[in-house]
Chain A
């Protein structure tokens, strides 16, 4: 009951506001409040697409491209239904408008088990989607873009196609029903033909179609095809523009140093020596905004002048609330919490206490995972020009309207006075869901007398002032009957919650209640435990925590998939067979697991590595963001005992595979990202200060440690699900389980370190 009470409460964040609203169908996401800007000889046919006389079809892109391939995948949705010529498709970043608010990710954030399709879940999902349309945010994240826009962007394409056909029919004085669109043209059986470009202006004066029909998947020409990335050329010839590549005339540059203690601020500083250096315009203190840390900034004519001068600034810090906080104390505190609490119950089945009591055998274990930095290749940066009461913000951001609000608040102007220009992201991984760096850049630009200022963080500032993947401790107990069948599964974890912190720092709202993202990966999984209780206890700590690719799944998958391997061992059963036996009513998951085992040669002898070292396999199965992924990793140890991962077989069921090439890319990407964390990733905090500062002490996987990756995609006609994150969670447990098979050592902490 407790869970349901909370849920209605959460949905009710909106509850007070939703009276009198009706649920808008996807097509009401068709047109923006303000007409889209168009260039000469170009017409906007709705809020998602413009067609120009030169036959270009410009997809208005409301999501941020951070490597996940969203420009390509989403453009395909629209181009398919429009019957556009793919070669004519261009991408342009959208303005901020409610039709672009992300509904899917918010509904996914509700703490329901995927198998629970009951009335409460439906009502909560409905209320949330409805309210988020009004109060929600434009957001790229949560592996939600295709899921969110599967209907709206196809409907936008279909609507534009109907208007182009309507225009041709009007011109030709023929019934629209006799005309059809194909590869950027409207055609009629009589041989008449007009290009989209010729029809664009007339089409824009057609009424929005009252009724739309979407294609039967059997007629898809683009969807399902492994198209290459639409923006690749610019990323190969160096012309792609990332956040730090914007060059407005008169651009100044700022470099910042923030209090080494997270959340601290500047007490006093001496910038006199710095101010005397060439090129330096100003030395100023900056507050910590949107959950960030206070510091000092130097504004100069070039980036190097700003950086060099910053070294001469001496600062006396107020270290603040985190000065006494260290990660070792936090681990101890989390473990002690689990001595007292079993956490808020996210899932329960049967009577786990009785089942444990009557079990013929029980096992238990404690796992832990550290804080992690995002370490995107493009360090945090933002360019702002504040002039005549209005601002332009050029930012690599996953949340343009939150970035706009953050800048507007700092500058003391209305959000409508801030124009946000979203640039390509040199990696996001969740770090660019935060707006601390945007607000800071606005505060710095405020001091520049109307000139645009690019604020760029050093790698050291970036790594020591992140919003970290929360550390977590998790305890398990499992019970078995005399035949070795699993009868009880008890799991409690403790760690910080992200959502309450985000609500506080982004909206000033007090965050409360259970946070699905803290327990996801532990409770929302397909295994059919006869008796189970899965809980998570939120421990409130001042360490800034944030969304890190796959969020709760990133560590909960490691805990759960490692402990289920322990359970298989305790039961004396094969890890694949043991899992399959717990998935009797989940054929989709079984198929993914068995396919991975088959492709990896599970059960067959594994030849040694090239240097003669013994190899072993490990498996993991995990569901996240709607997709099911199984991975089998093959590992060996180098002569110096370094862990080597040779090959990873990855199988995904993500519903209808919109673009198999992009899905493969994301599996490769998720695996490499997850391997960095599994093998090396650890942020240590001592007295509130992050000890790692650059890629030497927070390493990322390099090419010489990268395994061979083979991805197989299960064919499906189901609704498409996420692919940006689901590749990450299974890799750490797959490797840990392989290491157990190889060495007999069960590694229960990340990063994986053999004794």
Chain B
């Protein structure tokens, strides 16, 4: 048994320590907003925040989590997150939507570190998140919008 701090709440989990965080979230905790895509940290759909940093939950065993806060898409709250979600809505970013939880987690982590990212900053921070539907142009626009830039 281990206590994880997820979205501000202490949660008791019973999975073995080598279980990747992704499968604890999706399995035992039935929090399905975080997705499975590749299992090798190649696609980013499983991105969550660990101690405020974006990590790939598919390769992060719960034994490595320790006391750090975990934030998932379900816990994406606060003014920065709401601004980001509003920008995602305004730009109508999503298509199939499967990768979008991961995209949003990566985008929020970027904006927390760099409130006014350039295109190059966005590309560098978001290159770990694949979208097969090709929502990238709108992701760029939404991040700029969330950063307060005027969008044409």
Contacts and interface: CB of A to CB of B under 8 A. Distances in A.
Interface of A: 65-69, 228-229, 231-242, 244-245, 247, 253, 278, 302-304, 375-379, 424-429, 456, 458-460, 661, 665, 668-673, 676, 694-696, 700-704, 706, 708-709
B134 A244 contact: no
B133 interface: yes
B144 interface: no
Contact of B135 (A240, A428, A458, A668): A668
B23, B28, B96, B122 — most chain A CB neighbours (10 Å): B96
Contacts of B73: 237-238
A703 B97 contact: no
B92 to A, nearest CB: 4
Interface string B107-123: 00000000000000011
A696 B45 contact: no
Contacts of B138: 665, 668
Kindly list the 10 A-B residue pairs having the minimum CB-CB distance in the complex, ordered from nearest: A238-B33, A672-B134, A235-B97, A426-B98, A67-B96, A238-B73, A67-B95, A704-B123, A245-B32, A304-B23
B56 interface: no
A242 B98 contact: yes
B137 A668 contact: yes
B25 to A, nearest CB: 11
Interface in B94-152: 94-101, 104, 122-124, 126-140
Interface centre among B27, B124, B133 (most CB of A within 10 A): B133
Among B95, B99, B124, B126, which residue has the most Cβ atoms of chain A within 10 A? B95
With most chain A CB atoms within 10 A of its CB, the pick from B37, B72, B88, B98 is B98
A235 B93 CA distance: 10
Given A459-B38, A703-B126, A377 B134 contact: no
- Size class of the contact patch on chain B: 35 or more
Contact of B95 (A247, A669, A671): A669
A702 B33 contact: no
B99 A236 contact: no
Interface string B1-31: 0000000000000011001100100111010
Contacts of A66: 96
Listed residue (A459, A673, A703) with the most chain B CB atoms within 10 angstroms of its CB:
A703
Nearest to A232: B94
Contact of B133 (A237, A304, A669): A669
A377 B130 contact: yes
A229 B94 contact: yes
B35 interface: yes
18 contacts: A66-B96, A228-B92, A233-B89, A241-B32, A242-B97, A242-B98, A304-B27, A376-B98, A377-B37, A377-B99, A379-B37, A426-B97, A459-B40, A665-B92, A676-B132, A694-B38, A703-B126, A706-B136
Overall SS of chain A's interface: loop
A377 B35 contact: yes
Given A424-B96, A704-B124, 8 more contacts: A65-B96, A232-B88, A236-B104, A377-B45, A695-B42, A703-B140, A706-B134, A709-B137
Contact of B23 (A68, A302, A376, A428): A302
Contacts of B94: 229, 232, 235-236
B22 to A, nearest CB: 9
Nearest to B102: A377
Contact of B89 (A232, A458, A460, A672): A232
A428 B98 CA distance: 11
A66 to B, nearest CB: 5
B37 A459 contact: yes
Nearest to B85: A236
B36 A701 contact: no
A69 B132 CA distance: 15
B30 to A, nearest CB: 6
Contacts of A458: 39
Contacts of A304: 15, 19-20, 23, 27
Given A67-B97, A238-B33, A238-B101, A708 B137 contact: yes
B23 A425 contact: no
A377 B137 contact: no
A68 B92 CA distance: 13
Given A375-B132, A668-B134, A253 B27 contact: yes
Given A236-B100, A377-B130, A703 B136 contact: yes
Given A236-B104, A302-B23, A304-B23, A702 B127 contact: yes
A48 B19 CA distance: 45
B70 to A, nearest CB: 14
Nearest to B125: A703
A229 B137 contact: no
A696 B88 contact: no
B134 A240 contact: no
B59 interface: no
